[in-house]
Structure 1
Amino acid sequence: MLWGLRRGRAAATGLAGLRRPLWGPGWRGTTTTSFLRRFDTVNGASNQQPPSKAGSYRETVRLPKTSMPMKLVGRQQADMELEIQQKCGFSELYSWQRKRDIKEEFCLHDGPPYANGEAHVGHALNKILKDITNRFQMMRGSKVHFVPGWDCHGLPIELKALSKLGEKAQNLSPMEIRKTARAFAEAAIEKQKSAFIRWGVMADWDNCYYTFDGKYEAQQIKMFYQMYAKDLIYRAYKPVFWSPSARTALAEAELEYNPEHVSHSVYVKFPLLKPPSMLASVLDSSLPVSAIIWTTQPWTIPANQAVCYMPESKYSIVKCANSGEFYILAAEKVSSIAALLGTEFEVISTFLGADMDSGSCAHPTIADRVSPLLPAHHVTLTKGTGLVHVAPAHGMEDYSVASMHKLPMDCLVDELGNFTEAAGNELENKNVFEEGSDTVIKMLQSTKNLLKEEKFTHSYPYDWRTKKPVIIRPSKQWFVKIENMTATAKDSLRKVKFIPVSAMNSMVDTIEKRPYWCISRQRVWGVPIPVFHHKTKDEILINSQTIEHLVQLVEKHGSDIWWTLPPEQLLPQKVLAQLGGPDTLEFVPGQDILDIWFESGTSWNCVLPDKRADLYLEGKDQLGGWFHSSLLTSVAAKNKSPYRAVLVHGFTLSEKGEKMSKSLGNVISPDIIINGGQDQSKDPPYGADILRWWVAESNVFNEVKIGPRTLNAARDDIDKLRNTLRFLLGNVADFNPETDTVPFEEMYIIDQYMLHLLQDFGKKITEAYKQYDFGKAVRHLQAFYPRQLSNFYFSIIKDRLYCEGEKDRKRRSCQTALAEILDVMVRSIAPILPHLAEEVFQHIPYEKEPKSVFRSGWISTNSIWKKPGLEEAVDAACTMRDAFLGSIPGKNSLEYDVIVVIDPGLLFEIIEMLVDEGTSGISQLSELMMASQTSLLAQDPIAIPADAIELKGSYLINMEGIREETSYKVIVIPATKEKCPRCWKYTADSSNQLCPRCTEVTA
């Protein structure tokens, strides 16, 4: 029997069925945790080197031996990582694992980073999270599919590429622009790729995907037509987000909101022209009455076509105390608007909004224009007056109202944000953000329709590329009918696992709020929308034949052909003949390109055409970006999402919680983190593993802070971990698992106990990795190796490791446990710290194949290690040791002997498992107690020295079927023997004489 119990009672109580954790709450007396805090101050022989005067015995003590450096300083860490990458075949690892004969596959689809600059810490957070995931899945036995990609088109690249050319850029042809932008993107890709590889990211680097690759572009064109043929893509004249600074339409995903934007806020009167029939009896036709509206965009007033109200809400006619005029506004806004205008309102009548049906107002700046009063559901009472002015050309909801009531949609603003000739002489050529708004306000003043004007700070959409404010204006664009896919998209999202769960709600909200998606852009660096336009008529040409022909050309030559080949060569011969031949061709290639979100959103079709990704992993900005566009294109093509799970991480911030920017001087470069800066006293080289540890230990589901304090803390953590691993390596230097392993049932109980804890640790850390909660994996590591290994187990076993005979079974028992702990530890850190894991693996002294931890599998533990009853034995002994050590604070525990007295019963039988003989300096109980000698008695000794310390306590055993609280006594007495010059225990019969154990070993 494992426990070696000589009385049957312990077995009968179900000892082996215990499941209570060692460190859990509910224990009586002093806890093991409190002991560990005090243990650091105890100077025992087990954590000291032999004295210099015992030089003759120094060589007989078996101290740890390993060639692994204790610490890597300066450039050593970075240099070691490069050496490890080369020696351990980091570059071949991906192809090796793809060739394995394994059926199970794990597909992580890489969202393409933008090819417009150096790799930054945001890239590091994202790519390292992906690599930790992939390395774990590979080690667990899955064939990982991970093809990196880059988003290569779009305005940011075009602007950066052309900015170096200055004024020359304005005279470039489309092909010159494309050539310049492509060269810039290619250079950025190479820089980023080198950085990702340096971070240790395992990927198919030889077969990356690029959105400017001809085959990729051809697939986009096919996807466009597939959706067009399903009536999911159409062309229309609609209001869209428009960037005057970039002169192009934008999708919502290309906006960022500036919370400090300052607008002109105005309260404007719309004089009532025709009273609503329901209010005719209330209103005196001889008295002027006006509807009051509020807007932060006064430049839109000239484009007004209506005033909207909420049919179900209450409105009031009020009389202004200052002017005597009558106004209409929402009933619940009467008091607040009166206070804001510095007056008082007398309520004349209150009615439902529906009663305003059939009424109309005069336009406040344009004579003879009528603005009807119309119901609308987008009107709210959160701000303003409860009445909203409607400019169909400059608002999405306004456009919906105009469509329903067939209102005109006159656009008075051009591509640069300037008023056009149609706006009148007073406004023509004036910018809406500058003098245009000021002029409209003056016009309202001149017509006496301005009630109040003030500055208003609020969140306003900006172009994410140019960082300038956008407007809403109509133009002919290409749109995706999201509303036709909403139900399917929402249903498919319910089948996706979101991490965190709340992220799904954000995506559902986005889908519900977007009836359409503008996918056309007015630039040249991108994939052309594959449509031909008639020269004089509003007609387009696109069909399966034109698409098939274009796809073949683009696959072979790339999308440059849209700008380099004449129209007759872009069309297939059959279609060209139907149109009358090249001489009479009236169609020309369109000038719009595809939105880059459409491009990247079709990446699943190019990289994983026949399978769904197991995981998409990107930042939270992609909930309305790549996650969203990928979902829509996949639903359009296959009626399902392209991913089974979505992990969303936060953004990176400085240690002060600020967004990183060059102007604040708080940008941290991953390259400087790894290799150090020019002044290495200020910016020391940390290496890639510290960057990876920072990623893993952070709560990535929120914003992630990084800075010197964070990096130094990470370095300290890894140094401690390195020393733990080095201790393990050093103490298995003379151990061969094939010949020296001790069977579990023959091991010391404390060694069995550590394997019991090790199995639990292995399960917990595996589950944390499976849940993509790498922060929890780090916390499990940090709870295990400092407390349960370094502070507890290593401190106890040093005497046995160093002073027992080399091949003694007691020592081999300990080494058996250490070898298993080393194996589990090195695998548990490998996904996060691949360089350290491989370095340790290369220093393991016994033979092993393959020569890489990543080619040898995941953590393996044995079910027989799970012995819950071990916890009772060890914790009971530790509780008594707490009492002993607490009685001798700051003193050397080896200067004392300990007598443990326990009343007969289950506790006595449990502790008796740790004792081979009555009084011993080498028993398992003595090892745990850290005293020179320990005795276990069932009753008080006959004589107790006068200088003895008596400590009383009780211990509660609560096992299956039995609950027993037993009293115990710990008697601490000064050591009765002399100090052994070899092991420093007070177990020698005379001074300068070896103790019996050391005599036997050295003999």
Structure 2
Amino acid sequence: MLLCRVSTVSQALARWGRRSQRGGGLFHRALSFSSGRCHGVGSGEGSTQPAAAASTGTLYRDTVLLPRTEFPMKLSGQKLLDREVQIQQECGFAELYSWQRERKAKKEFCLHDGPPYANGDPHVGHALNKILKDIRNRFEMLRGRQVHYIPGWDCHGLPIELKALGDLGSSGLSPLQIRQKAREFAEGAIARQKAAFQRWGVMADWDQCYYTFDGAYEAAQLKVFQEMHSKGFIYQDYKPVFWSPSSRTALAEAELEYNPEHVSRAIYATFPLVTLPPKISVSVLVWTTQPWTIPTNQAVCYMPNAQYSVVKRADNSELLLVATERTATLLTFLIFLLQGSQLEGGICKHPTVPDKQVPLLPANHVTMAKGTGLVHTAPAHGMEDYSVASQFKLSVECMVDEDGKFTELAGPELQNLSVMTEGTDKVISMLKESGALLMEERCVHSYPYDWRTKQPVVIRPSKQWFINTASLKDKAKESLQKVRILPESARSSLLAMLDRRTYWCISRQRSWGVPIPVFYHKETGDPLINKHTVSHIAKLFKEKGSDCWWELPIETLLPSEALQKVSGPVSDYVRGEDVLDIWFDSGASWAAVLEESDSRADAYVEGKDQIGGWFQSSLLTSVAVRNKAPYKSLVVHGFAVSEKGEKMSKSLGNVVDPDEVINGGKDPGVPAYGADVLRWWVAESNVFSEVQIGPTALNSARDSISKLRNTLKFLLGNLQGFDPRLQAVDPKQMHYIDQYMLHLLREYSIKVTDAYSEFDAGRAIRVLQAFITRDLSSFYFSIIKDRLYCDPEDSLGRRSCQTVLEEILDGVTRSMAPILPHLAEEVYLHAPGHDNFIFTLFKSGWIKSSSVWRRPGLEEAVEGACAIRDSFLSSIPGKNAAQYDLTIAIEPGLLFELMESLQEEPTSTSSQLAELMMAARVTLTSELPRDLHPDALLGHGTFLINLEGGVIREDSPYDIAVVPTSGVRCPRCRRYTSESADCLCPRCQTVVSQAH
């Protein structure tokens, strides 16, 4: 007893697909499609066919309408590369962006391009990012929106300057000479990257890009600077910043990399207390991983609400003050306890500076996670230390120069020693000499490094320009609530980074960048900056570029209006030498690139490293100036990594070059995959995690496209000579299974549209592959081949089938086009109905589906047949359905009426029901006959009919009987519907006689 209960399309087709190869195997083998020829016609199935039959079969070979097309099954090597370039030229890839900008559209889609850095060759990270953006842009353009996408490059900054100068260094070169070399280097990198992006098929007007070194861009950036300065968000101050001795410039948090394997020489040092009774000698014990900062100590901080212990060392009689919670790490004996608040007013001797005393101060940043619960405080060299100094008016004295060496203020013993190396050695030696060193240990911990030189940084105070991000933080968080973030998990990282950043150092001590438009009084050093100076400089930059800051005399740079509120002539001032942080450069891109000053981009799409970089700098500048985020949605993707999940590096030899992916490598074992394989790799990947690339992923992508080409070739081959404009069949006149396929095509188009709309190209691919594998190859194609190949060429049944195939070809081609533009255009050139070549596919719109394709009862009729066919195939496991007659018995009711719509006569070899069953003959009756063949196979099942949203529900039983057919195989169509051997079946007789 079989129970078949089908309530959805997917359930019906999943079961059908599992068995379809058995049901349609004979015909599929007899008429396989390859190179436009009919293989096997007349050659029989193994040794079962007599030689005479083989001879007979060859007579009818030319009457079978096999697929024919010039569309190649496979393209590889140089032919593939040449074809992709040819497609780009013939189909106007270069002009497509400009074309769609000029057409009328009701809606615009703006994807603002985050600028890649112009300091090297294109890499797979670029490919991941640019192709991901292009897939969405092409989708939006296809569905009728006007896409706003202007590619850009981040052109300033230290890495470019260092690479441009190479071994020369900057000694002896003027700022203008340095800038010229840096510009040339950046322009070369831009040209290489731009050429690669074009080869990948990225749609843009490549003659209208934005560059952060353009005068117009710099002017827009200065306008943002001026507005933020006028609102009080930008200020100058002297305080600790991350400083890179290897680059000799200040760095922002976003320019740091944290090395988790950094090794520090951590020490425990004592600060003798001087405010206790004279007979008691107690020392405060501190722990630090930065011994070189001890000479600049100004205080020791404690936690007021923590408990502290005075303990006695096990190895001598010295008394130490430590947090009670931390005593377990030390070999000591407890003497007495006290509360942190009791330490208020305490004074210590400095361990290396004679006669210097430092206070004990309460602080919130003291923790018990490590150390002693007492924190050595050097305001010049720590952000939290500086906060304590600000609160208690401590000195912030810097003893470290721009090269990371002690200055003369540190004393003759330390002067000119590098603080991270020999300076640390010397300070530890001084602590030993004074008896203040309790212990030294090796400490492996995370430490900030310069993101480009890969050298450790220090914290040192410097007079810099800052943005007060603390005052912007709440507005920024509020604006982020209105921003959609993919994946949503990235939101917490964005908010956490905003919380960590209380200020943003935006000045850099370099030549290659946008000058900060400030003038300084020669004697007092006071800065002169106001709306007159900034707007005047912005105007000059727009006309002449920022080189004019060094080229023009100060009399031209400093307008007279700016001097009205200050005393003294222009000659009293000098121009500033600092440039703006490149994160401010790129963060102001919304002001320079988005068309309207109050507009927001629909999306920013960048890697997860931009959470603390471009995403944040763009947000902060836009919120400061306009009180809103510059984006409606953020898409945060992962990094490209090797197939082993490792970060790519030349030293590991696992770098994948996108140029080699497309064009092949010098090694013959590295094939040329072409641009579409690279694009498929991007689309198929889960871009919200780390994205692996290597031979396995690329070969898989190539194989997937090859299977897709095979399906497209089948579709094109069966549409040879079909003109949808003249020969298309109205859906109401179509076979039910053809109408049903239009219904499935409509559902497919909805799913794939939703996937692209969610930036989920991977889901679009899965939907595409499921549709092709399950709905087409395993289902529809196996059933219709007989009708396609053997029915009369102009018959309604064949034209009905071709009409659907054309719709499927059109829908599949359009749905894959955002991912595979080269293949899609190639198919479009071969597809019927496009003879005039007026349009390329990308100028002709998105998938066209119609609600007319969904007819009441249609799904139930076909899915009911699916259920019955499932029972039929289950009764003959492993056998060929075409060799059996099937009797279906259904009591009068809805199911019987539905099956009757597929077969009006009681018994038939050519009904729609017989086609669906792929049996020799189908008989439809209300009850099984009593005189069944004794060897008949019996089966039973039920099908749940659900119509009008559940208003009509009927559980309909059915019975089947299966017997071997008495028919003989037709030498033309290979169906067992002939009356005798070597004779054509009635259908084929009619077709052949009409042909002659």
TM-score relative to the length of structure 2 = 0.93
Distance 2:456 2:559 in 1: 43
Q: Which amino acid aligns with 2:380?
A: A
Q: 1:434 matched to which residue of 2? A: 421
Give the match's secondary structure for 1:477: strand
Which digits, 9 at most, give the CA deviation of each residue in 1:577-614, with x for residues without a partner?
Answer: 998998x7121111111111111111111111432211
Q: 1:9 matched to which residue of 2? A: none
Q: 1:606 matched to which residue of 2? A: 592
Distance 1:84 1:368 in 2: 82
Q: 2:583 matched to which residue of 1? A: 597
Preserved contact between residue 271 and residue 351 of structure 2 (Cα < 8 Å): yes
Q: Which amino acid aligns with 1:110?
A: D
Preserved contact between residue 13 and residue 779 of structure 2 (Cα < 8 Å): no
Q: 2:926 matched to which residue of 1? A: 938
Distance 1:347 1:711 in 2: 69
Give the match's secondary structure for 1:585: helix
By how many angstroms is 1:59 displaced? 1.2
Q: 1:173 matched to which residue of 2? A: 174
Q: 1:377 matched to which residue of 2? A: 364
Among 332, 351, 358, the alignment partner of 2:325 is: 332
Which digits, 9 at most, give the CA deviation of each residue in 1:383-411, with x for residues without a partner?
Answer: 22222111101111111110010011111
Preserved contact between residue 98 and residue 144 of structure 1 (Cα < 8 Å): yes
Give the match's secondary structure for 2:556: helix
By how many angstroms is 1:687 displaced? 0.8
By how many angstroms is 1:897 displaced? 2.1
Q: Which amino acid aligns with 1:834?
A: P
Q: Which amino acid aligns with 2:154?
A: D
Among 27, 39, 44, the alignment partner of 2:26 is: 44
Q: Using the TM superposition, name which of 487-496 and 904-913 deviates more.
A: 904-913
Q: Using the TM superposition, name which of 950-959 and 658-667 deviates more.
A: 950-959
Q: 1:892 matched to which residue of 2? A: 880
CA 1:577/1:32 → structure 2, altered by over 3 Å: closer, same or farther? closer
By how many angstroms is 1:889 displaced? 4.2
CA 1:734/1:81 → structure 2, altered by over 3 Å: closer, same or farther? same
CA 1:48/1:266 → structure 2, altered by over 3 Å: closer, same or farther? farther
By how many angstroms is 1:551 displaced? 2.4
Which digits, 9 at most, give the CA deviation of each residue in 1:269-322, with x for residues without a partner?
Answer: 2222224xxxxxxxx752322222222212112211111122233333333334
Preserved contact between residue 797 and residue 814 of structure 1 (Cα < 8 Å): yes
Which digits, 9 at most, give the CA deviation of each residue in 1:545-587, with x for residues without a partner?
Answer: 33333223222221112222232332235667998998x7121
Q: Which amino acid aligns with 1:220?
A: Q
Among 736, 758, 761, the alignment partner of 2:723 is: 736
Distance 2:6 2:110 in 1: 37
Give the match's secondary structure for 2:441: strand
Preserved contact between residue 875 and residue 938 of structure 2 (Cα < 8 Å): no
CA 1:58/1:442 → structure 2, altered by over 3 Å: closer, same or farther? same
By how many angstroms is 1:109 displaced? 1.0
Give the match's secondary structure for 1:113: coil
Distance 1:88 1:142 in 2: 20
By how many angstroms is 1:173 displaced? 2.0
Q: Is residue 253 from structure 1 mapped to residue 239 from structure 2 by the alignment?
A: no
Q: 2:820 matched to which residue of 1? A: 833
Among 66, 84, 88, the alignment partner of 1:63 is: 66
Q: Which amino acid aligns with 1:900?
A: I
By how many angstroms is 1:416 displaced? 1.2
Q: Which amino acid aligns with 1:197?
A: Q
Q: Is residue 976 from structure 1 mapped to residue 966 from structure 2 by the alignment?
A: yes
Q: Using the TM superposition, name which of 54-63 and 532-541 deviates more.
A: 532-541
Distance 1:88 1:962 in 2: 52
Preserved contact between residue 236 and residue 478 of structure 1 (Cα < 8 Å): yes
Q: Which amino acid aligns with 1:998?
A: C
Give the match's secondary structure for 2:398: coil
Q: Is residue 317 from structure 1 mapped to residue 307 from structure 2 by the alignment?
A: no
- CA RMSD of the aligned region, Å? 2.2
Q: Is residue 82 from structure 1 mapped to residue 85 from structure 2 by the alignment?
A: yes
Q: 1:116 matched to which residue of 2? A: 119
By how many angstroms is 1:759 displaced? 1.1
Unaligned ranges ≥5, structure 2: 32-40, 44-53
Q: 2:75 matched to which residue of 1? A: 72
Give the match's secondary structure for 2:966: coil
- The 5 A counterparts of 1:475-624 are 475-572=462-559, 585-608=571-594, 609-610=596-597, 611-624=599-612
Q: Using the TM superposition, name which of 218-227 and 138-147 deviates more.
A: 218-227
Instruction: Give the aligned length.
Output: 962
Which digits, 9 at most, give the CA deviation of each residue in 1:812-847, with x for residues without a partner?
Answer: 221121121112111111111111111111111224
By how many angstroms is 1:920 displaced? 1.8
Give the match's secondary structure for 2:10: coil
Among 285, 297, 302, the alignment partner of 1:304 is: 297
Which digits, 9 at most, give the CA deviation of each residue in 1:243-269, with x for residues without a partner?
Answer: 010000001111111111111122222
Q: 1:221 matched to which residue of 2? A: 222
Preserved contact between residue 312 and residue 319 of structure 2 (Cα < 8 Å): yes
Q: Is residue 866 from structure 1 mapped to residue 854 from structure 2 by the alignment?
A: yes
Distance 2:140 2:299 in 1: 60
CA 1:20/1:470 → structure 2, altered by over 3 Å: closer, same or farther? farther
- The 5 A counterparts of 1:63-462 are 63-163=66-166, 166-167=167-168, 169-275=170-276, 286-335=279-328, 337-338=329-330, 343-346=331-334, 348-351=336-339, 353-462=340-449
CA 1:355/1:267 → structure 2, altered by over 3 Å: closer, same or farther? same
Q: Using the TM superposition, name which of 114-123 and 912-921 deviates more.
A: 912-921
CA 1:913/1:393 → structure 2, altered by over 3 Å: closer, same or farther? same
Preserved contact between residue 309 and residue 373 of structure 1 (Cα < 8 Å): yes
Q: 2:747 matched to which residue of 1? A: 760
Q: Using the TM superposition, name which of 483-492 and 732-741 deviates more.
A: 732-741
Q: Which amino acid aligns with 1:873?
A: A
Q: Is residue 706 from structure 1 mapped to residue 696 from structure 2 by the alignment?
A: no
Q: Is residue 630 from structure 1 mapped to residue 618 from structure 2 by the alignment?
A: yes
Q: Which amino acid aligns with 1:334?
A: T
Among 658, 661, 671, the alignment partner of 2:646 is: 658
Q: Using the TM superposition, name which of 96-105 and 519-528 deviates more.
A: 96-105
Q: Which amino acid aligns with 2:300?
A: V
Distance 1:675 1:842 in 2: 24
Distance 1:298 1:581 in 2: 47
- The 5 A counterparts of 1:794-805 are 794-805=781-792
CA 1:203/1:245 → structure 2, altered by over 3 Å: closer, same or farther? same
CA 1:424/1:733 → structure 2, altered by over 3 Å: closer, same or farther? same
Q: Using the TM superposition, name which of 149-158 and 819-828 deviates more.
A: 819-828
Q: Which amino acid aligns with 2:337?
A: S
Preserved contact between residue 22 and residue 872 of structure 1 (Cα < 8 Å): no
TM-score relative to the length of structure 1 = 0.92
By how many angstroms is 1:20 displaced? 4.7
CA 1:350/1:964 → structure 2, altered by over 3 Å: closer, same or farther? farther
Give the match's secondary structure for 1:934: strand
Give the match's secondary structure for 1:59: helix
Q: Is residue 725 from structure 1 mapped to residue 708 from structure 2 by the alignment?
A: no
Q: 1:11 matched to which residue of 2? A: none
Q: Which amino acid aligns with 1:76?
A: K
Q: Using the TM superposition, name which of 588-597 and 806-815 deviates more.
A: 806-815
Preserved contact between residue 587 and residue 614 of structure 2 (Cα < 8 Å): yes
Q: Which amino acid aligns with 1:79?
A: D
Which digits, 9 at most, give the CA deviation of each residue in 1:602-656, with x for residues without a partner?
Answer: 1111111432211111111111111111111112221211111111111110110
Give the match's secondary structure for 1:629: helix
CA 1:169/1:334 → structure 2, altered by over 3 Å: closer, same or farther? closer
Q: Using the TM superposition, name which of 462-471 and 508-517 deviates more.
A: 508-517
Preserved contact between residue 331 and residue 350 of structure 1 (Cα < 8 Å): no
Preserved contact between residue 236 and residue 476 of structure 1 (Cα < 8 Å): yes
Which digits, 9 at most, give the CA deviation of each residue in 1:760-792, with x for residues without a partner?
Answer: 111111111112122111111121111111111
By how many angstroms is 1:345 displaced? 3.8
Distance 1:37 1:363 in 2: 83
Unaligned ranges ≥5, structure 1: 1-17, 25-30, 276-283
Among 452, 456, 462, the alignment partner of 1:469 is: 456
Give the match's secondary structure for 1:245: coil
Among 823, 844, 849, the alignment partner of 2:810 is: 823
